[in-house]
Amino acid sequence: MATPPNRQPILSVENLRTYFHTPDGLAKAVDGVSYHVHPGETLGVVGESGCGKSVAALSILRLIPTPPGEIVSGDIRFNNQNLLNLSTRRLRGIRGRRISMIFQEPMTSLNPVFTIGYQLSRVFSLHNRLSKKAARRRALEMLAACDIPSPERIMTSFPHELSGGMRQRAMIAMALGCRPDVLIADEPTTALDVTIQAQIMALMLRLKEQFGMAMILITHDLGIIAGSAQRVVVMYAGEKVEEAPVAGLFHHAAHPYTAALIQSLPVLGRRETFLKEIKGMVPPPHQDIPGCKFADRCHEAVDACRRRRPQLKEIEPGHLVACIRRTDS
């Protein structure tokens, strides 16, 4: 499961800055974030609301509403092209075909007035230039591959007639039908029940292996990350604060935020009187903070933390952290 060190990343995000112009000021939703994913690898991007993980993913496919959003700077390389410089037409050829995305709430990502079959076939016929018949056949295949029972019946159903788990499977079928190289999954199971969540995650991982895709798995759920990702990126308030292989992250979390987050989780089978909480709140995105954004909530913060933004440095092979208390000695 370890990535051979010489493999080139298939998708890499470099120094991405995506800002939003709000009535309260300029919100720096993503402020200089870089990460990459190798072919066949699962990269987990974890963070809480407001950390910018979803905005970063949407920026990859340039799905940010502009205005009020704006991808201010950065390089997003896919197959030696900078996606930020591509024409809209060529970008559309990549969206859904080479890089696919699935979202949290399938009810709002599937068009409620069209049948599942229609939506899937359309995508396949548009991207792969298949005839109607061939596209329909591919749709049926994909639905079956996603463990949907009686796919013919689902083809003629509308999204609201399906359960949450079924809708998510339909979304996965739609996203994977063109055999993309990269799948971006933004909180794919957050809206689902736990038992269904397990089914969907197992399905996604199986299909990923089968099609040899890379996956960027975005979630706030550390449990899902632990079970599915090979490498993990932790984001906080628009910045990347840590990156590590999954075992390293959980066993030797370097950044105080990551460590605190892991420790604050209630763990089954371990009952304590009080959970280890993290005091304070995530700073609002439009607030300008000169130093480390986590300093106000950090036990180990010193004056130097508030003066300059900490740089990401490698403390072990493959393990980077942005914290002067870990990197500067």
Partner 1 sequence: MKKDAPHHRPHGRARELQRSLDLIRRNPLTLFGLFILLMLTLTALLAPLAAPYPQQGKGLSNLDERLEPPSFKHLMGTDDLGRDIFSRVIFGARISLKAAVAVVLIVVGIGVPLGLIAGYAGGKTDDLIMRFADMILAFPSLLLAVAIVASLGPSLFNALIAVSLPWWPWYTRLMRSQVISIKEMPFVESAAAVGASHWRIMFRHILPNCLSPIIVQATVDMGYIILAIAGLGFLGLGTQPPTADWGVMVSDGREFFLNQWWISTFSGGAIFITVLAFNLVGDGIREALDPKIRWRFQKT
Partner 2 sequence: MNQPLIKVDHLSKHFALKKSGLFKERRYVRAVDDVSFLIGRGESFGLVGESGCGKTTVGRSILRLTEPTAGRVEFEGRDVTHFKRPQLKTYRRHAQMIFQDPFASLNPRMTLADIVGEPLLIHRIGSKKERRRRIITVLETVGIDPGYMQRFAHEFSGGQRQRIGIARVLTLNPKLIVADEPVSALDVSIQAQIVNLLVRLKDDFQMSYLFISHDLAVVEHIADRVAIMYLGHIVETAPSELIYKKPRHPYTQALLTAIPRPDPDAPRQRTILEGDLPNPAQPPSGCPFRTRCPQAVDQCTAAAPAMTAVGPGHFVSCHRVDA
Our CB check for partner 1 shows the closer of 210 and 287 to be 287
Q: How far apart are CA 326 and CA 291, in angstroms?
A: 15
3-class state of residue 180 by DSSP: coil
List the beta strands (DSSP E) in the chain.
Answer: 11-22, 25-37, 42-46, 69-78, 81-82, 99-102, 182-186, 214-219, 231-236, 239-245, 313-316, 319-321
- In the complex, minimum distance from the CB of residue 9 to partner 2, in angstroms, rounded to a whole number: 22
Interface residues toward partner 1, by CB under 8 A: 20, 22-24, 27, 29, 49-52, 54-55, 68, 279-281, 285
Q: Which are the contacts of 97, defined by CB distance < 8 A and separation ≥ 6?
A: 127, 128, 178, 180
- Work out the burial of residue 98: count CB atoms within 10 Å of its CB; fewer than 13 is exposed, 13-18 middle, 19 or more buried: middle
Nearer to partner 1, 270 or 279 (CB): 279
What is the separation, in whole angstroms, between the first and last Cα of the chain?
A: 33
Provide the minimum distance between the beta carbon of 48 and partner 1 in the complex, in angstroms, as a whole number: 10
For the bound state, the minimum distance from the C-beta of residue 264 to partner 2, rounded and expressed in Å, comes to 4
Residue 196 site contact among partner 1, partner 2, none (CB < 5 to 8 Å, cut-off depends on kind): partner 2
**Residue 27 partner contact from partner 1, partner 2, none using kind-dependent CB cut-offs of 5 to 8 Å:** partner 1
- Residue 46 near residue 217, CB atoms below 8 Å: no
- Residue 69 or residue 245: which is nearer to partner 1 going by CB? 69
Is 87 or 195 the residue whose CB approaches partner 2 more closely? 195
Tell the smallest beta-carbon distance from residue 230 to partner 2 (Å). 10
Nearest residue to 43 via CA among 252, 240, 238, 255:
240
Strands 182-186 and 99-102, by their bridges, are: parallel
3-state DSSP assignment of residue 166: helix
Q: Which is nearer to partner 1, 107 or 198 (CB)?
A: 107
CB of 234 to partner 2, least distance (A): 12
Residues that bind partner 2 (CB under 8 A): 48-49, 163-166, 193-199, 201-202, 220-227, 246-247, 250, 260-262, 264-269, 271-279, 281-282
We find the least distance from the C-beta atom of residue 301 to partner 1, in angstroms, to be 17
Query: Which C-beta is closer to partner 2: that of 178 or that of 200?
Result: 200
